[in-house]
Structure 1
Amino acid sequence: MRHDTTAAAPTPAERDRPSLVTVTGTELARLKRGFLVWYHLLAPVIITVPLFLGALGSAEAKAGQTFEVFRNVTLEFWGVLVPMTAGLAAALSVRADQDAWRLLLSYGVPRGRYFMGKVAALGVLGFVSSTVLLVMLSLGAALSGQFLDALGTVAAAVYLPWLVGLSMTAMATLVAVVWGMGPSIGVGVAGLLCGALVSDKVFWYAVPFAWPMRVVLPLAGIGPNGVPLPDDSPVTDPGAIPLAVALAAVLSAVLLAVGRIHMIRKEI
């Protein structure tokens, strides 16, 4: 008996209703050769290499605290860079898709998946960037002879800002879709400023832009300026971390729903 090994053509339902995973994969495939991929891969390296060299020459290095200085300053930069990166990435990605969306929105694919797939793809890039940062910090810890002692805290301090920062990615993407590139970058700038100025204030929970930096502070035991905090400082309270994660989850869900509705109603 002869068996036909030719792959079956996709049915209309499969073609016109791709899963969110498929849409996200398509977004990543379109981004893989552009500026954003290289930015996410190289930004952690560009940040950490000079900071580690600077830590080697610091006064604390003579007391055997090279890695502590390197870690604190790096995480300070990372806490404000997460929302800044979200704004920049969303702005450039959405701008690059304007012409493509004019065609794609004429198809029968559920429009909301374009928005959700865009946010998910940018979230994947952020995860990759966080992983590169973790590798760089781990190398710094190993060179300082503190690899095993530092790994757990460093991993949490790297990935939690990314997790909380997904809400900033959703916000920046929505702003870029609705109002364009400039306001989306403005979201990133607001995140940078609020991370530096608001994250250690008592009202931090009311300012979403400050959430990524806020989860870093108790883990690293530092203020927004990178200076170690006293043990009795309220900023070191780890209770802020689950609150920030919960607030970010709620905000992300709301923004994804709003973005989905906007794309459904968007005129071609």
Structure 2
Amino acid sequence: MAYDTTAAPPRAGQRDNPSLVAVVGTELARHKRGFIAWYHLLAPVIITVPLFLGALGSSEAKAGQTFEVFRNVTLEFWGVLVPMTAGLAAALSVRADQDAWRLLLSYGVPRGRYFVGKVAALGILGFVSSTVLVVMLSLGGLLSGAFPGGMGTVVAAVYLPWLVGLSMTALAVLVAVVWGMGPSIGVGVAGLLCGALVSDKDFWYAVPFAWPMRVVLPLAGIGPNGVPLPKDSPVTDPGAIPVAVALAAVLTAVLLVVGRLHMSRKEI
């Protein structure tokens, strides 16, 4: 058997210095058949199907407002589900990597990329989940005869919580890496509670867990309980949206830096 002796062996610099894209791709490949991927795909379906059936039987349906009820209640659930999903996904993902990291951290790969790659991969899965929700809301609009006129700001009300929720993903991953699975799930529970209890308060900006829900309220015109808000309610002020996005961007950047530093010093 003849061998090609002219082929150059892979350089160590390439082997021990994978791009962030390669790290993120590896993270996604590891999750594509597991619970985390299925959760992100099915969670929007699981919450929308019963909510649509419930909207069909509501008193508002008799007045031709089936889709409005379905949309409002779904967006209410979504605002609190985003941080809850961040905590759960981060906890399970980091726990699954404990054994692998014992090996990977012994290589010369810049350790910070493992942290950033995991946050980015979970963020991509969150984007996919948001897209599934948009599809389900669109189907609800079609079935109730409200598509596309009734969609309004639905797309923004779905994707903005995901964008702001990236800060919760970074926080949950950091907590999971430092303190473990339980506290990371606690981040998600805190997001669920704060979204329901704090997002419509004057001090919402001081509670990061409430930010994903806060951007939903003015777009959907509802309170945290899913009830339509009066037009003169201060909660309907869209000025809160850029504030929440800016705060989330700053917090995400800070958490990524802290996470990279922690991974760089993490003991094997």
Asked if TM exceeds 0.5, the reply is yes
**1-structure distance, mates of 2:231, 2:151:** 21
Shift, 1:150, TM fit: 3.2
8 and 80 in structure 1: CA distance in 2 versus 1, 3 angstrom threshold:
farther
C-alpha separation between the residues in 2 aligned to 1:256 and 1:42? 28
Say yes or no: does 1:54 pair with 2:78.
Answer: no
Distance 1:238 1:228 in 2: 15
2:116/2:260 contact within 8 Å kept: yes
The aligned runs of 1:67-86 (5 Å cut-off) are 67-86=67-86
Match of 2:41 in 1: 41
CA RMSD of aligned residues (A): 1.2
Partner of 1:11: 11
* Structure 1 residue runs without a partner (length 5+): none
Name the aligned partner's letter for residue 218 of structure 1.
P
Deviates more, 1:10-19 or 1:180-189: 10-19
1:193 and 1:7 mapped to 2: Cα distance?
Answer: 59
Within a 5 Å distance, the mapping from 1:1-268 to structure 2 comes to 9-268=9-268
Q: Residues of 2 paired with 1:126 and 1:8: CA distance?
A: 40
Amino acid at match of 1:126: G
> Which 10-residue stretch deviates more, 105-114 or 149-158?
149-158
Instruction: Tell me the amino acid that sits aligned with residue 244 of structure 1.
Output: A
Q: Secondary structure at the match of 2:226?
A: coil
Counting aligned pairs with the same residue, the percent is 88
| Distance in 2 between residues matched to 1:8 and 1:34, nearest whole Å | 37
- SS of 2:148's equivalent? helix
1:45-71 per-position Cα deviation (integer Å, ceiling 9, x unaligned): 000000000000100001010000000
Q: Distance in 1 between matches of 2:232 and 2:64?
A: 24
The one-letter code of the counterpart of 1:262 is H
Letter in 2 for 1:118: K
Of the structure 1 ranges 246-255 and 143-152, higher mean CA displacement relative to structure 2 is found in: 143-152
CA distance in 1, matches of 2:24, 2:131: 19
Deviations along 1:5-24, one digit per CA (max 9) or x if unpaired, are x9865322111111111100
Letter aligned with residue 199 of structure 1: S
Paired AA for residue 207 in structure 2: V
Q: Distance in 1 between matches of 2:264 and 2:137?
A: 43
Residue 33 of structure 1 aligns to which amino acid in structure 2?
R
SS at match of 1:169: helix
Q: Take 1:188 and 1:208, find their aligned partners in 2: how far apart are those partners?
A: 12
- Name the amino acid aligned to 2:87: G
In 2, the alpha carbon distance for the partners of 1:122 and 1:201 equals: 29
**Counterparts in 2 of 1:63 and 1:260: CA distance versus 1, 3 Å:** same
CA distance in 2, matches of 1:8, 1:89: 41
Equivalent residue letter for 2:145: G
CA distance in 1, matches of 2:166, 2:25: 18
User: C-alpha separation between the residues in 2 aligned to 1:7 and 1:78?
Assistant: 53
CA distance in 2, matches of 1:261, 1:150: 47
* Counterpart secondary structure, 1:243: helix
For each residue in 1:109-133, what CA deviation from the matched residue of structure 2 results, as whole angstroms up to 9, or x when unmatched? 0000000000000001100000000
